[in-house]
Chains A and B, each alone.
Chain A
Amino acid sequence: MFWHIEVKEKYGIFDAVGEGIKKDIFDLGINTVSKVNFIQAYSIEGDLGEAEIKRICEELLADKISQEYSINAQNADDPCLCMGTPTHNAFFIEVAYNPGVMDPVEDSVKKAISDLGISGVRTIHTAKKYIIRGKLTNLQIRTVCNKLLVNKVIQHAVTSAQEELGLRDIDYKFNLVSIDLLGASDKKLQKISRDGQLFLNVSEMRAIKKYFTRLKRNPTDVELETFAQTWSEHCVHKTFRGKIEYKGEIRNPKSEIRNKSRIKNPKPKIINNLLKSTIMKATKELNKPWCVSVFSDNAGVIKFDKDYDVCFKVETHNHPSALEPFGGANTGIGGVIRDPLGTGLGARPIFNTDIFCFGPPDYSAGRLPAGTLHPKRIAKGVVSGVRDYGNKMGIPTINGAVLFDEGYVGNPLVYCGTAGLIPKGKASKLVNSGDLIVLLGGRTGRDGVHGATFSSGELTHKSEEVSGSAVQIGNPITEKKLLDVLLKARDENLYNAITDCGAGGLSSAVGEMGRELGAVVYLDKVPLKYKGLRYDEIWISEAQERMVLAASGDNIDRLLNVFDSEDVEATVIGEFGQDKMLRLFYQDNLVGELEMDFLHDGVPLSEKKAVGLKRNLREPRIEEKKDYTPDLCRILSDYNVASKEWVIRQYDHEVQGASVLKPLVGVNNDGPSDASVVRPILSSKKGLIVSCGINPRYGEISAYWMAASVIDEALRQIVCVGGNLKQTAILDNFCWGNPDKPDRLGTLVEAAYACYDFAKYFAVPFISGKDSLYNEYNVKGKSIPIPGTLLISAISVMEDITKTISMDFKRAGNLIYIAGVTKDELGGSVYYKLHNQIGANVPQVDRKMAKTVMEKLSSATAKGLVRSAHDCSEGGLAVAISEMCFAGGLGAEVFLSEVPYKESQRVKESKSQSKKNKKIRDDVILFSESNTRFVVETEKKAQGAFEKAMKGIPIGLIGCVSEKKDFRVYGLDGKAIIKSDISKLKEAWQKPLRW
């Protein structure tokens, strides 16, 4: 019997979900909706009588106080309510998950019904139903469905009962499939790769063919899939490890060197393994004694205190988030949380970070490329996805950034990071021969088949159809249970090694763990969500919330008991061997047999060409003004500068109780903190600071200086809150376009070299990183790359959290300093963006000065001389001081004539050519985004001590904090060029993203 149950708010109870939808419909430009009601629907199938169903409704599904329910009995072939049927201007829309998509509520409801003592339930499906009232055309109602309520990748509007209840259990009869590779031509090889969504190129296919020619047999489908997973860009980072021939001048951006004739025709540079030549090289040369494990595990590990190490990893989940923002971001954060869990013998997650790049939220819907979701919908979905998973995991999300740029319209970026604490001595692992392979956590379904290979190709407008199965929804509670009990098992020393089941599923996890030993896996032992999976699907499924352990037979009973004690499924699915062979069985049939050595080392090194593009960039001519207040307001309202409070508040950033400096600070808890500080051991004063740097606009001028700038940015934020560089480590995340195209790869190479140069210079090692390439979007044959985007995340150990400072002005009468030199570096600035310009003078990092500025400021803060500090980044000095004012609820008077100023490198050169003197301009000082600059507030009585502490670096006493809630800036000629009440500035800053 099928029972259809609907639960809704009682009359008189505010329907908050419905109201939210109404607002979203209004945002779509449809203003004729008078009311939206939300109804939660459940379809329960099983041997249940009406009395039992009634009890389920009363005791479980409907809240006694606020909700009411209705029950409908149905035969399977009765038609249900049809979508969009208008009755008295009311439209009913019911949205259900597609078959095969995990319904996270199903498990909990099943459990809860059995708690009631009711058995006989076979399946439960949930659906959301909306009643939309008002005058809408059919086209409008379809718009509401497609743009808001239904994502066809995972959901559908229910039109008939059968479809909704179309069960997933289909019997599967074993049938071994092998692929004819031996007789295949190159063309055929390519076709096999394409048809199988393997994303292997022809030289890789040839290598596989050669291998099987030696074995004198054809591969089975699962063997070929194993190669595709193991050799995917996502898993081996072929570009970074391969050979690159670079033509250009890496360290000097074109805008700077075009007058130097001697490097017109630079000799090509051969780079073998870009990763080892740059990022890892810096770490190796710095050789910090506090680095515990770098670039070898799922996350980088550094020392924390005498009892613990700390690990940190940042990942991306871009392609899935483009197609299904909620699910993509949801599983993105879920996946990166498993990285610390799978590092060493497992770390306890202590915070999350998230950084998003979206298209502009006001992007015209008509201009959207086919197959893309609107940026605002992506933004809302992604934020909800992270909120749902992060909050439910009980991990505070404490740091991040949100950027908007047209370059991300077809391909948004979603970076998620997690840090964790590992007890000393548990940061390494070793699989022993004979150890059992234990699969933990969620069950395996068809979800995420081909996720790893999917992310290694470009998106097309057909991606949502072809790769829909690569998109999933997470179930955070399954992962939370896993986390809790796993740490128990770790502390009892019940296993020898662990890794997460991420991209590539079991194939990657077991393949990686068994690399040195070999492994045997019995695929039919893997617990499934539903019947009907083929053996190859089981092997490569990317079903979420799974981990793989290696445990000795002696511990296995205890281990399984521990997991059972908290209802976490754990299953022995095979064992690690000693002959370095990977063998896969399904129901006693050998379905795959590969040599681990070839699987891991057989991938042909890629050879790619890279070219440094010569860009003809110019500085724009912009009229000078007498009043820059309107420009300042417009910059504060730029989506990239504006307050992200809407996002931050939806994340629980205080769970675990470790919060010391929150992402929102100041007199009204709404100012933009530079970095966050936590004390993960509540009884200790030792803390961790986390920050990030990202600015793709600089990359439009020079990828090299973009990378240098974002490293500088992440580090100066550490310094702003009271930290120092001594025990600071950084992570790189490159999101780039197709590296097979030389111009894209050229900028990647330049950015990587800047990473080496500046990690070395600042003496901050990289400890982990990840790249996501092929971020391009194919429309009508034209491939559009995202702006090459480098995210630098920084983590720093702080000895004493009571030395933390925040960026809000503290007291009227205090002095305002700027530390560091301002140059005419408006290239890529928000100010130029106001004028639709990009410019040429991109901010550089001064290698003679930058590190000293940071070190001196750190020591001044440690001495207690600094009341607040804030870095100058997007929007420059004017934005930095505005933010300090309205965060502190105080005004300021500032004199530009006191700002230390120097002409930029490029201006000097052009001046020597033209011999013309260039005037220093107010707008340059106000809005230049020169690196390594800090606005610092000190008390008058600390003036002498502060100036002494900063001796040797350029600082300027530029003004003071005032009681009047008024921000006033005097230009170089002494006249006021900015005059504004701080509440006006604050409103300009808060309004744009107050969704």
Chain B
Amino acid sequence: MPSPKVLILRSAGTNCDKETKFAFEKALAEASLVHINEIVRGQERLDDYQILALPGGFSYGDDVGAGKILANELRFKLGDDLRKFIEAGKLIIGICNGFQILVKAGILPGKEDFPQEVSLIINDSGKFEDRWTYLRSTKHATHAIARVPRSTKCIWTKGLPEIIYLPVAHGEGKFVTKDKALLDKLRRNGQIVFQYCQKEGKLGGYPDNPNGSLDNIAGICDETGRIFGLMPHPERHIQGSQHPRWTRDGLKKEGDGLVIFRNGVNYAKRYL
């Protein structure tokens, strides 16, 4: 069976494309870096791929608002292609800037005509910060937060340990929704995939929640569980040597982030 094909989308200001490619290749996919102009100009077709990855970076300098300009470009130049891609049940992952783009293009949390319903805004600290965060998959919610139902639908996070450890590096990652009703709906639908937490899993304030996100939300998926966006960088924890304390705790065979890529690739292998 051929390896699933991943399109890693580049544009002016994309940064984390090469390490995202490395992560997908570790997960045994065939990953290509494709500039958005190549699709717009018809040299590449979204159709030929099973997974679309929007990597981190500062698309168009994050001018106007993080991810906004590329989000518009996707909507206005690739809208039909994207819609078809999504309708075909294919997979999308947006990491950091990629998450910002998915949110601002209305692809997440996702509705028929792609309205923007949530946003990622300037961190409460007012500055860019690079730090490691513990993330709780909300399906593992303990009684303390039992009101948050389990998100079992995100195909990207199946089989993850209860708590994983990934770095964030952003200035605009504070998750907000347009209203409380939407937040409740995301909870009910199990669309909240990751929450920032303390080492043992309890929800905490800054710096455990590095940006002041509503309900400590770090990542969400759409209603199908196939489209996933998160602020932390799973591609920066693929190898044991990327862990900030491997010189203390020993070199693990692989990092916490790899499972996420493997899940996507395995799903594509089986169903797409």
Q: Does A477 contact B (CB under 8 A)?
A: yes
In residues 91-113 of chain B, which contact A (Cβ within 8 Å)? 104
| Contact call A387/B128, Cβ cutoff below 8 A | yes
Report whether B73 and A115 are in contact in the complex, using a CB–CB cutoff of 8 Å: yes
Query: B125, A65: Cβ atoms under 8 Å?
Result: no
- Give complex CA distance A115, B13 in Å: 17
Q: Which of A138-146, A659-667, A962-970 contacts the other chain?
A: A659-667
Q: Which residues of A contact B271 (CB under 8 A)?
A: none
For the complex formed, measure the closest distance between the CB of A214 and the CB atoms of chain B, giving whole angstroms.
50
The reply to whether A108 and B128 contact each other, CB–CB distance below 8 Å, is no
- CB neighbours of A175 from chain B (8 A): none
List residues of B (1-42) whose CB comes within 8 Å of A's CBs: 10, 12-16, 18-19, 22, 35, 37-38
Q: Find out whether the CB atom of A566 lies under 8 angstroms from the CB atom of B64.
A: no
B119 close to A64 (CB less than 8 A): yes
| Interface size range on B against A | 35 or more
B64–A60 contact, CB under 8 A?
A: yes
Q: State whether A108 and B69 are in contact (beta carbons under 8 Å apart), knowing that A16-B122, A477-B12, A657-B19 are contacts in the complex.
A: yes
Give A381 Cβ to nearest chain B Cβ, in Å: 13
Give bound CA distance, A168 to B29, whole Å.
Answer: 51
Given that A60-B64, A115-B77, A665-B247 are known contacts, is A391 also in contact with B38, CB under 8 Å in the complex? no
Encoded as 1 (CB less than 8 Å from any A CB) or 0, chain B from 232 to 245 comes to 01011011011011
In the complex the two chains form, is A653's CB within 8 Å of B241's CB? Answer: no
> Residue on A with the closest CB to B251?
A802
Asked whether A392 lies within 8 Å of B176 as measured between CB atoms, the reply is: no
Task: Given A115-B69, A652-B128, verify A662-B244 contact (CB < 8 Å).
Answer: yes
User: Which among B18, B65, B77, B118 is the interface contact of A656 at CB below 8 angstroms?
Assistant: B18
* Other-chain contact of B16, A394, A476, A567 (Cβ < 8 Å): A394
Please measure, in the bound complex, the distance between the C-alpha atom of A650 and the C-alpha atom of B130, giving whole angstroms.
Answer: 6
- Asked if residues B131 and A14 are in contact (CB atoms below 8 Å), the reply is no
Q: Determine if A566 and B37 form an interchain contact, defined as CB atoms under 8 angstroms apart.
A: yes
A655 at the interface (CB under 8 A from B): yes
Q: Across the interface, which residues of B come within 8 angstroms of A651, CB to CB? A: 130
Binds A, one of B55-63, B148-156, B185-193, B218-226: B55-63
Contact call A65/B35, Cβ cutoff below 8 A: no
Nearest A residue to B72, CB-CB: A115
Interface-located stretch among A43-51, A464-472, A783-791, A804-812 = A804-812
The answer to whether B169 has its CB under 8 Å from any CB of chain A is yes
Picked from A66, A115, A480, A805, the residue with its CB within 8 Å of the CB of B119 is: A66
Interface presence of A528 (CB below 8 A): no
- Residues A565 and B37 in contact in the complex (CB < 8 Å), given A477-B60, A664-B244: yes
> What is the 8 Å Cβ interface bit string for chain B, positions 65-97, against chain A (1 contact, 0 not)?
100110011001100000000000000000000
Q: Which of B61, B76, B104, B117 contacts A108 (CB 8 A)?
A: B61
Interface size class of A (residues with CB under 8 A): 35 or more
Give the distance to chain B from A270, nearest Cβ to Cβ, in Å: 51
Do A804 and B239 have beta carbons less than 8 Å apart? no
Chain B residues in 8 Å Cβ range of A475: 61
Q: In the bound complex, do residue A656 and residue B119 qualify as a contact, i.e. CB atoms below 8 Å apart?
A: no
Select which of A9, A393, A566, A810 is within 8 A of B248 by beta carbon. A810
Cβ-defined contact, B16 with A669, below 8 A: no
Closest A residue to B179 by beta carbon equals A65
A44-82: contact bitstring with B at CB < 8 Å (1 yes, 0 no)?
Answer: 000000000000000111011110000000000000000
Given contacts A650-B128, A667-B245, A682-B22, contact A63 B119 (CB under 8 A): yes
A64-B116 in contact given A108-B64, A111-B60 (Cβ < 8 Å): yes
Name the contact of B176 in the complex, choosing from A66, A104, A484, A657 (C-beta under 8 A).
A66
Chain B residues near A202: list those with CB within 8 A. none
> Contact at A657–B238, with CB atoms within 8 Å?
yes
B251:A477 contact, CB within 8 angstroms:
no
Which residue of chain B has the shortest Cβ distance to A104 in the bound complex? B61
Known: A565-B38, A805-B247. A65 touches B118 (CB 8 A): yes
Name the one of B127, B177, B178, B248 contacting A808, with C-beta atoms under 8 angstroms. Answer: B248
- Check B125 against A16 for contact (C-beta < 8 Å): yes
Cβ contact of A682, chosen from B57, B121, B239, cutoff 8 A: B239
Q: Is the CB of B247 within 8 A of A63?
A: no
Give every chain A residue within 8 A of B38 (Cβ-Cβ). 565
Cα-based distance from A270 to B53 in the complex (angstroms) = 64
Q: Say yes or no for B124: interface residue by CB 8 A criterion.
A: yes
Q: With A and B bound together, what is the CA distance between A652 and B129 in angstroms?
A: 7
With both beta carbons as reference points, the residue of chain A lying nearest to B18 in the complex is identified as A656
In the bound assembly, the distance between CA atoms of A810 and B129 in angstroms comes to: 27
- B229 touches A (CB below 8 Å): no
A16 proximity list for chain B (CB < 8 A): 121-126
B248 neighbours in A (Cβ, 8 Å):
666-667, 806, 808, 810, 888
Q: How far is the CA of A391 from the CA of B66 in the complex (A)?
A: 13
Asked if B264 is an interface residue, CB under 8 A from chain A, the answer is no
Cβ-based interface call for A654 (8 A) = yes
Say yes or no: A65 contacts B119, CB within 8 Å: yes
Residue of A nearest to B129 (CB): A649
Q: Say yes or no for A17: interface residue by CB 8 A criterion.
A: yes
Residues on A with beta carbons closer than 8 Å to the beta carbon of B124: 14, 16
**Which residues from A are CB-within-8-Å of B37?**
565-567
Across the interface, A654 reaches (CB within 8 A) one of B60, B63, B76, B236, namely B236
Chain B, range 158-217, C-beta contacts under 8 Å to A: 167, 169, 174, 176-178, 212
Is B267 an interface residue, CB under 8 A from the partner?
Answer: no
A664: B residues at CB distance < 8 A: 244
- Distance between B210 CB and nearest chain A CB, rounded to angstroms: 10
**B235 nearest in chain A by CB position:** A657
Contact flag A115-B76 (CB < 8 Å), given A17-B122, A20-B126, A806-B247: yes
Nearest chain B CB to A10's CB is how many angstroms away?
10
- CA separation between A649 and B127, bound complex, in Å? 9
Q: Is the CB of B22 within 8 A of A657?
A: yes
| Interface assignment of A744: CB less than 8 Å from any CB of chain B | no
Asked if B35 contacts A566 (CB within 8 A), the reply is yes
CA distance A566 to B38 in the complex (A): 9
Asked whether, in the complex, the Cβ of B127 is within 8 Å of the Cβ of A650, the reply is yes
CB distance from B20 to the nearest CB of A (A): 9
Distance between Cα atoms of A682 and B241 in the complex (Å): 10
**B132 proximity list for chain A (CB < 8 A):** 669
CB <8 Å contact, A112 and B60: yes
Min C-beta distance of A108 to chain B, whole Å: 4
CB distance from A18 to the nearest CB of B (A): 9
Which of A13, A108, A566 is packed against the most chain B CB atoms within 10 Å? A108
* B244 lies within 8 A of A477 (CB): no
Q: A484's contact among B10, B16, B123, B251, by CB below 8 Å, is which? A: B10
- A105 located at the interface, meaning its Cβ lies under 8 Å from any Cβ of chain B in the complex: yes
Inter-chain CA distance A480–B17, complex, in Å, is 13
Write out the residue numbers on chain B whose beta carbons fall within 8 Å of the beta carbon of A682: 19, 22, 238-239
B170 to nearest A CB, angstroms?
9
The reply to whether B245 and A567 contact each other, CB–CB distance below 8 Å, is no
A475 to chain B, nearest CB (A): 8
Given A20-B126, A65-B177, A664-B244: A111 touches B69 (CB 8 Å cut-off): yes
Complex Cα spacing A65 to B214, Å: 13
Tell me whether B72 and A112 are in contact (CB under 8 A). Answer: yes
Kindly list chain A residues whose C-beta atoms are within 8 Å of the C-beta of B60: 108, 111-112, 477
Residues of A within 8 A of B128 (CB): 387, 391, 650, 652
- Within 8 Å CB of A59, what residues of B? 72
Q: In whole angstroms, what is the CA distance A59 to B248 when docked?
A: 49
Query: Which residues of B have CB within 8 Å of A660?
Result: 241-242
* Bound-complex Cα distance A995 to B65 (A): 25
Considering only residues 530-582 of chain A, those with a C-beta below 8 Å from chain B are 565-567
Q: Show 15 residue pairs from A and B whose CB-CB distance is below 8 angstroms, ordered by the A residue.
A: A20-B127, A112-B68, A115-B69, A393-B15, A394-B16, A567-B12, A567-B37, A650-B127, A652-B130, A655-B16, A659-B236, A665-B245, A802-B241, A804-B247, A806-B247
The 5 A-B residue pairs with the shortest CB-CB distance in the complex, in nearest-first order: A394-B15, A657-B19, A65-B119, A108-B63, A20-B126
A116-B76, A650-B128, A653-B130 are known; give 13 further A-B pairs, CB within 8 A: A17-B122, A63-B116, A65-B117, A65-B121, A477-B61, A480-B15, A481-B13, A565-B38, A566-B12, A566-B37, A648-B130, A656-B19, A657-B19
